[in-house]
Amino acid sequence: MPEKQPRIIVLGAGMAGILAGIRLQHMDYRDVTLYEKADRVGGTWRENTYPGLTCDVPSHFYTYSFERNPDWTRHLPPGPEIQAYFERTAQKYGINALTRFGEECTEAAYRDGRWHLQFASGHRDSADILIAATGVLHHPKYPDIPGAGTFQGALFHSARWDHSVPLEGRRIGIIGNGSTGVQIVSALAGKAALLEHYQRTPQWIMPVENGHFTEAERAAFHDPAVLAQAMNVEEYMASVEAYTQSITDIDSEASQAMAQACRDNLEHSVVDPVLREQLRPDHLPLCKRLVFSPDYYQAIQHPQSRLVSTGIQQIEAAGIRTVDGELHELDVIVFATGFHADAFMRPMAITGRDGVSLADFWHDRPKAYLAVTMPGFPNLFMLNGPNGPVGNFSLIDIAEHQWAYIERLMARLDAGDCTEVEPSLAAMEAFEAERVEAAKRTVWYRGGCVSWYLDAEGIPSSWPWNFQRFVDSMAEPDWAAFGLSPPRAM
């Protein structure tokens, strides 16, 4: 650590921002501030509160590696328990004290070797190092369905759940069947008088167990050795590797096995052959982000549930009219229609060196060298930025690998080896060209579907290689890409 402490600002106090705050304190950086637009930590888990909210990563892996949670009640962590975990962890590591809540950053500009920040409140600040931990899926996407404003009942997006609206015994329409819509339908089946699930494109559903841990098990997990044995990290990491192989090589055994599990689930779980065919996708499993569910097929076969696969024409005062002319009378409509997955730090206006705007740099698509840094934006580091791995595995683990990489970059600043860390344009362009080529070989591109993984030009935006390549890339920076020679051995 140099004598003069660098000023470090972290934007966002969700999972990644809390991680940054914890690690920066651990590294003895003492001039650190987190800015958070909301009034408490938690990010996506604070904003999403819909019924059935669950993470599809096995509970014990959905934590920071240094702060395991023996108290999860279920095999898959319920949303409220995840939010409580982040609040507890933030409290334990002093993150709340470092954070200015209710401050939304609107502009960040790099001038004279520093980042200058402007906030919606009028507040200003500046920093030597800027960490963007602003999340991936946080700007709700509203569907372009005519008449939404005319509906007389309650209508809201899944990420803006209105808990004042009663659900028991009501007629509810859920639009969208991604992970969110599937979880909501599973939670509300049998509770609503009528539950209509509007499906535009069928989804493959991967079966998964989601039992409760017994009290005895939870007590035993307080012994780290018992927890470690129960977690079986090797087996889990092998499943993550198999998952990423399935994405990147659709002919692989792993891919065939996952696809077959989805097909078997449909064949064996849905009794009515007409409903089964309505639910059968015409794209390859894994083309869209795979939906894991222990009970969706049961939920949609409940006597009070109904799958609506006829297209939506418009929303009217009394409900939804489908293109066949039928009016579906409803009390509540939920848009489970996803997020603007390409927003990242936007709508914040970010300006790098020489006035280059992020909007210009991302004019074709969001991109970053190894998902963490960008040429022309010195000393700006992203957690869960564009082109990083996103899938059916823990984003916390991804952020930890990225953080380890950022620590190595920051160490060069501390050592005085440079005053600015940024990749060269050549390194960025070479990485991007290779990434786009690899993306075209993935199931996201070749699987015959459209999904939020695709950018405006139809190119998958997520990490297109296997997990091990990501781990290796984060283990040690390619210093030449940053115009630096390898650090001297300590």
Q: What are the residues binding ligand N01 (CB under 6 A)?
A: 54-56, 137, 143-145, 175-181, 183, 198, 200-201, 289, 312, 336-339, 450, 452
What the block records as the tokens of 486 is: 């390898």
Cα 252 from chain centre: 26
Alpha-carbon span 93 to 66, nearest angstrom: 12
Instruction: Give the residue with the Cβ less far from ligand N01, 32 or 307.
Output: 307
477 prior amide bond cis, ω within 30: no
> What DSSP assignment string belongs to 403-467?
HHHHHHHHHHHHTTS-S-----HHHHHHHHHHHHHHHTTSHHHHSS---TTB-TTS-B-S--S-H
User: Least distance (Å) from ligand N01 to the CB of residue 146?
Assistant: 10
User: Least distance (Å) from ligand N01 to the CB of residue 145?
Assistant: 5
Instruction: Give the residue with the Cβ less far from ligand N01, 245 or 337.
Output: 337
Q: What is the DSSP letter of 158?
A: G
User: Least distance (Å) from ligand N01 to the CB of residue 283?
Assistant: 10
Instruction: Give the residue with the Cβ less far from ligand N01, 198 or 463.
Output: 198
User: Least distance (Å) from ligand N01 to the CB of residue 420?
Assistant: 34
- Say if CB 312 and CB 306 are below 8 A apart: no
User: Least distance (Å) from ligand N01 to the CB of residue 61?
Assistant: 12
Q: Please name the residue ranges forming H helices in 322-367.
A: 358-361
Question: Between helices 233-248 and 224-231, what is the axis angle to 10°?
Answer: 30
> Which is nearest to 283 in space by CA: 405, 444, 449?
449
* Cβ density class 263-301: b for 16+ within 10 Å, e for less: eebbeebbeeeebeebbebebbbbbbbbbbbbbbbebbb
C-beta nearest to ligand N01: residue:
178
User: Least distance (Å) from ligand N01 to the CB of residue 454?
Assistant: 10
User: Most distant CA pair in the chain: distance in Å?
Assistant: 73
Instruction: Give the residue with the Cβ less far from ligand N01, 393 or 405.
Output: 393
Instruction: Give the residue with the Cβ less far from ligand N01, 54 or 69.
Output: 54
Instruction: Give the residue with the Cβ less far from ligand N01, 5 or 49.
Output: 49
User: Least distance (Å) from ligand N01 to the CB of residue 3?
Assistant: 44
Instruction: Give the residue with the Cβ less far from ligand N01, 143 or 207.
Output: 143
Q: Could you count the other beta carbons within 10 Å of the beta carbon of residue 209?
A: 9
Instruction: Give the residue with the Cβ less far from ligand N01, 105 or 208.
Output: 208
User: Least distance (Å) from ligand N01 to the CB of residue 452?
Assistant: 4
Alpha-carbon span 421 to 414, nearest angstrom: 11
Q: How wide is the angle at C-alpha 116 spanned by C-alphas 113 and 120, nearest 5°?
A: 170
